[in-house]
Structure 1
Amino acid sequence: MTIETRPLAGTVALVAGGTRGGGRGIAVELGAAGATVYVTGRSSTAGRSDLDRPETIEETAARVTEAGGLGIPVRTDHGSPQEVRALVDRIAAEQDGRLDLLVNSVWGGDALTDWEHPLWEQDLETGLRLLRRAVETHVITSRHALPLMVARGSGLVVEVTDGNTARYRGSFFYDLAKSTVIRLAVAQAAELKPHGVAAVAITPGFLRSEAMLDHFGVTEANWRDGVAKDPDFAHSETPAYLGRAVAALAADPAVMAKSGRALATWGLYREYGFTDVDGTQPDFAAHWARSLEGRYGPLGDPL
């Protein structure tokens, strides 16, 4: 392999929330680019999280290694400062203090999202739990991981979210969580700039995660059968597409120029030229403008 095909050889990454979905796609594509990837989450061979899904951090780590990198699974509850501190201490000990890339991809809020009711009719504790799970976990992880990057004077933080504009996302606590994650990137970028560390937010388009495939009753092999239920599904993208976007950012020596921005796969593929696994270049924003803007209005300006 050459530096062109393994541009992240020697890179140490932490993908928090790498068990499934976008986090798994990012971890595997970082591995394909040559990185060492610590894959963390609550679902492991030792037991499932309360999400009760079959994917595990060990499975993701094995895929990272199969792709050409080194996957290291570490079961971690990112809502626990003690567990996150122990995780970062382990990375520092094993990698001589090196951490080049932090991906905050913890979510776990699907079952907590109420799409039917306005704020004043929602269960308050459920909504607050969603915020703790989807926002507080990111703050805890950055708090403990950033000192490793600051000490080296380089690095990249990627906050994974849904959407990159101010458009309301349809449910109060869901919208608050996803828009707040973008603000986390903005705030971290401001504080990290003097230390040579970049921070960005990134969103996929219509993501074909494991849960979404289950929702449509399809697999990745026959995913197009789901288009009969939802025509917009034809314009979906795999987690690998998001992963390739993050890998491209991590390999970009000029990434500081993007620090503080809310980015999207549909913008980054034009700049970096990556494709999805089938060779296509999904562009959900273009699909929105063609087919959905008349019903739902424009996506709006990036935050």
Structure 2
Amino acid sequence: IRSRNGQCIPVCVNHENPDEIEALFERIAKEQDGRLDILVNNAYKGVELLLMNSGKPFWETEPAMFDEINNVGLRNHYYCSVYAARLMVPRKQGLIVFISSPGGLRYLFNVAYGVGKAACDRMATDTACELKKHNVASISLWPGGVGTDTIQASEYNAGFLKMLKKFDKPETAQYAGRIIAHLAQNPSLMQYSGKIVTTADYGATYSIPDIDGEYPTNIRSFSFLVKQVPALSWLSGWIPGFLKVPYWLWHQASNKF
């Protein structure tokens, strides 16, 4: 961060402790004269637990797994959003981002994970409803395949790394940051408020490549989706990358009615 002329103020916070979360935002208000431009809700505790229990149905895991996955990864996001909004609303500007995934739309990893991500998407939408008249945006951001440092270091990561190989170009952890930075400065930001934004789609729209200069695999592209079906994977190379599944059809695939 500093090498790129940014300022970094690291703060150690236990996101399972509401008092520590509140104290963080009180410190921000004091040190930054009440100014907070962006909140990224991305603190997450359950990565290792998800990897350890990969493939197990919910009844074969302990009920406490739900809290382990969603106390830090959902509940804390609500707390952070409350305190962030209290700083943003009086200034009539700000951006709240919930880092989510397609697991909020369709089954992915396990039940506790999917419930948490669906709730993150809903929280982004509903907070946006109440923040709109104050010119504060709230969105849910879906990255594509990302091999984070935590996942790379886990001894239980074989299944996830196998899935990651299905992406011709996985995202770096920095890519979501580039997208968020652009969103925060976008004059059309409020058009995205209350919506799910995928990093790949937004990056393609505004010509934002990853840090290596390439564009990550788009999870909506037909070429990527065809590759997930072994019998049809040979077709992937023949399908233009710009052909994507429409959002309405993507949503219809998870229709619960």
TM-score, L = length of structure 2:
0.81
**Partner of residue 258, structure 1:** 192
Match of 2:166 among 201, 226, 232: 232
For 1:173-184, list aligned pairs within 5 A: 173-184=112-123
Q: Distance in 2 between matches of 1:132 and 1:125?
A: 10
For 1:265-276, list aligned pairs within 5 A: 265-276=199-210
Match of 1:288 among 221, 224, 235: 224
SS of 2:56's partner is coil
Q: Confirm or deny: 8 A CA contact 2:38 2:94 kept in the other structure.
A: yes
Are 1:172 and 2:172 matched, yes or no?
no
- Structure 1 residues 283-292 or 98-107, which shifts more? 283-292
Q: Confirm or deny: 8 A CA contact 1:159 1:201 kept in the other structure.
A: yes
Structure showing greater relative contact order (alpha-carbon pairs closer than 8 Å, 6 or more residues apart): 1
SS of 2:89's partner is helix
- Percent of counterpart pairs with the same letter? 31
Moved over 3 A (4+): 212-217, 226-231
Pairwise CA distance, 1:281: 0.4
Q: Confirm or deny: 8 A CA contact 2:104 2:119 kept in the other structure.
A: no
**Partner of residue 209, structure 1:** 148
Unaligned runs of 5+ in 1: 1-63, 218-225
**Partner of residue 43, structure 1:** none
Quickly say closer, same or farther: Cα 1:236–1:213, change in 2 above 3 A. Answer: same
TM-score, L = length of structure 1:
0.69
Aligned-residue CA RMSD in angstroms?
2.7
Q: Confirm or deny: 8 A CA contact 1:227 1:233 kept in the other structure.
A: no
Are 1:300 and 2:236 matched, yes or no?
no
**Partner of residue 77, structure 1:** 14
- Structure 1 residues 86-95 or 107-116, which shifts more? 107-116
**Partner of residue 97, structure 1:** 34
SS of 2:214's partner is coil
Alignment deviations for residues 99-151 of structure 1 (CA, whole Å, 9 cap, x no partner): 11111111121122233222233210122221212111101111222100011
Considering fraction of residues, name the structure with more strand.
1
**Partner of residue 211, structure 2:** 277
Q: Confirm or deny: 8 A CA contact 1:164 1:182 kept in the other structure.
A: no
Quickly say closer, same or farther: Cα 1:231–1:105, change in 2 above 3 A. Answer: closer
**Partner of residue 143, structure 1:** 82
Q: Distance in 2 between matches of 1:230 and 1:252?
A: 31
